[in-house]
Amino acid sequence: MVREIENVAGIPVVQIATIVPIMLTVGANRIVPGVAIPHPVGDPTREGEGDRAVRRQLLERALKAIMTPIEEQTVFTS
Amino acid sequence: MRLELHKVRIENVSWGETTEVRRGTLSINREEMLAVAMEEPRFAHAELEITRPGESVRIIPVKDVIEPRCKLSGPGEVFPGFVGGTCTVGEGSTLVLEGAAVVTSGSIVAFQEGLIDMSGPAAVYSPFSRTNNVVLVVEPVQGIDQHSYEAALREAGFRLAWYLADKSREAEVDEVKVYEMEGPVKESFKYPHLPRVAYFCMSITQGLLHDTFLYGADMKHLVPTLIHPNEKMDGAMVSGNCVSSCDKNTTWHHLNDPIVEELYERHGKDLVFLGVIPTLEDTRLAGKERTSSFNANLARSLGADGVVISEEGYGNPDTDLCMNAAKCEKLGIKTVVISDEAAGTDGRSQGLADATPEITAFVSTGNVNEMVELPPMDRVIGHDGSISNLSGGAEESLREDGSMFVELQAIIGSTNELGFSRIGARWV
């Protein structure tokens, strides 16, 4: 789906998911590593504000990734 | 370390006055066995059913399958951490009721459980269509959380499997099979010219009712370790998994692991079997990295020349599989992996979710998405409506006449990645 949206609609996509090697294998271009398979975009083990901070950080990283011009598959870890 | 498996062949199962084995028939006192099940306060209600190979019976949903075993001699008790204490096992002698199985069922614990047909097309795919099954069907007490229900059903299965074997101590033994091997250092000295082979037994350890236990310890909190293959035969590793049923390792599979069997058979002839490394499939990338590094390091420390790697499940564990193979190969340790494939209903999709060039020897145990037509059965043990919640099934899977159109993954053990199935792969 990630590749099709980029190919057909020409809209850049950033994928947040946990297992980065799989995303590299399937050909996602902008990759933001998620937290864990049951909770990729948050960390319920860090309650309340801790979880909220993780989620905000991931979202901001994803927005940064989507605005960054790239030439090859890129994993955004910061 | 020497373990004798005293095998009593079970050809039939029936209700009777006393629980015992007589001339190949496992006779069961239903009330007595039910009382053992109901020692569990988390069950509101329980029933026992029996079914034999060839009958028109469907068991659904199936959580776990356990072979009845108990220790006759030697330290500890089978299913350590659950039935006995946590003393290490794998020595002395163990009674096995071969051809019998305890099947745990009941109102569904979680969405990924499977079915057994005792006859018809699905019977070709599951080893449990060929065992004489004693099925525990339970209703938990109201308000119980899923994890507690899973634990109750899991533990009841071990208790009942032990109970059946314990009551059969007087039975005539058909075969005594001896498994004897020292640890990896001594065995390597004994056969210095043979290649040394370890076995990574990858296990689903992902929480949310997807867990495997080693000596009662929840494996997701462990790092990989080494056990003697005999320990597996005494139930050191057990299933607590509510996961896609085609390729989950039930407790029965762990007890009868064909990879252990084959490596043992060839030990001292054309290889040295170094032992079993029960290993994890973590939910975090860092966990997968750590685990695979530990595995490769353990293999290197043991002086392994080669490793056999079996996967449990599919999807994200494909990454663990790739990492395990790649890290060993980079150390010069040869690997062969055993896995099934999720290649779509037409079989045309990529089989694994991940890939790595270091995997050069791959044994496929089948396509989990293959569709199969299952005719109605005369009798259903459990709840056939639960097919809509099973992996491989859907709301429309169950038709009014009781027939089903499902993916292979709904049939328990159908693409088992220890290779315990009848599906073969062509050499390509």
Nearest chain B CA: its distance from A3 CA (Å): 16
Whether B299 contacts B198, CB under 8 Å:
yes
B195 assigned to some structural domain: yes
- What is the Cα–Cα distance from A60 to A75, expressed in whole angstroms? 14
Chain B residues within 8 A of A3 when measuring between CB atoms: none
Chain A residues whose beta carbon lies within 8 Å of the beta carbon of residue B355? 25
Question: Radius of gyration (Cα) for chain A, nearest Å?
Answer: 13
Whether residue B285 and residue A20 make contact (CB cut-off 8 A), yes or no, is yes
Cα of A14 to nearest chain B Cα, Å: 18
Whole-number Å distance between alpha carbons of B214 and B79: 9
Q: Which of B242, B246, B322, B328 is catalytic?
A: B242
Q: Which of B155, B11, B4 is nearest to B71 (CA)?
A: B4
Tokens standing for B139?
């209703």
Residue B401 covered by a domain: yes
Nearest CA of chain B to the CA of A36: how many Å? 5
| Residue numbers of chain B with a pLDDT score lower than 50 | none
* Residue B425: Cβ within 10 Å count: 12
Minimal Cβ distance to B319: which of A19, A35, A38: A19
Centre a 10 Å sphere on the Cβ of residue A76 and count the other Cβ atoms it contains.
17
Among A18, A35, A46, the strongest candidate for a mutation testing the B interface, having the largest count of B CBs within 10 A, is A18
Tell me which residue of B65, B308, B323, B320 sits closest to B203, measured CA to CA: B320
Closest C-alpha among A3, A8, A2 to residue A16: A2
Q: By CA distance, what is B355's nearest residue in A?
A: A25
Average predicted confidence (pLDDT) for chain A: 94
Q: How many CB pairs under 8 A join A and B?
A: 36
B418 domain-assigned: no
| Contact (Cβ atoms closer than 8 angstroms) between residue B91 and residue B75 | yes
pLDDT of residue B111: 66
For this structure, is B246 an active site residue?
no
Q: Is residue B281 part of a domain?
A: yes
Length of chain B: 428
Unique residue bearing structure tokens 């252990």: B260
Q: Give ∠ CA A11-A41-B318 in degrees, rounded to 5.
A: 85
pLDDT the model gives residue B428: 63
Distance, CA of B265 to CA of B31 (rounded, Å): 41
Q: For chain B, what is the domain count?
A: 1
| B327 chain-A contacts, CB cut-off 8 A | none
Option in A22, A33, A37 nearest B283 (CB): A37
Helix (H, G, I), strand (E, B) or coil at B278: strand
B185 is in which domain, residue-wise? Answer: 2-410
Query: B204, B221, B283: which to substitute to probe chain A, counting the most A Cβ within 10 Å?
Result: B283
Report pTM.
0.94
Nearest to B37 by CA among B142, B166, B153, B169: B153
* Nearest chain B residue (CA) to A37: B283
**3-state class (DSSP) for residue B96:** strand
- Helical axes B317-330 vs B285-301, angle rounded to 10°: 40
3-state secondary structure at position B32: helix
Test B353 with A18 for CB contact under 8 angstroms: no
Selection from B307, B353, B349 nearest residue B330 by Cα = B307
Measure Cα distances from B294 to A19, B211, B228, B280, B332 in Å: 19, 20, 18, 10, 16
Contacts of B331 (CB under 8 A, 6+ apart): B296, B299, B300
CB atoms within 10 A of CB B102: 30
Cβ separation A22–B318 shorter than 8 A: yes
Q: Is residue B417 part of a domain?
A: no
B150 occurs within a structural domain: yes
In a domain, B424, yes or no: no
Q: Measure the CA dihedral B331/B332/B334/B340, to 10°.
A: 40
At B283 the pLDDT is 96
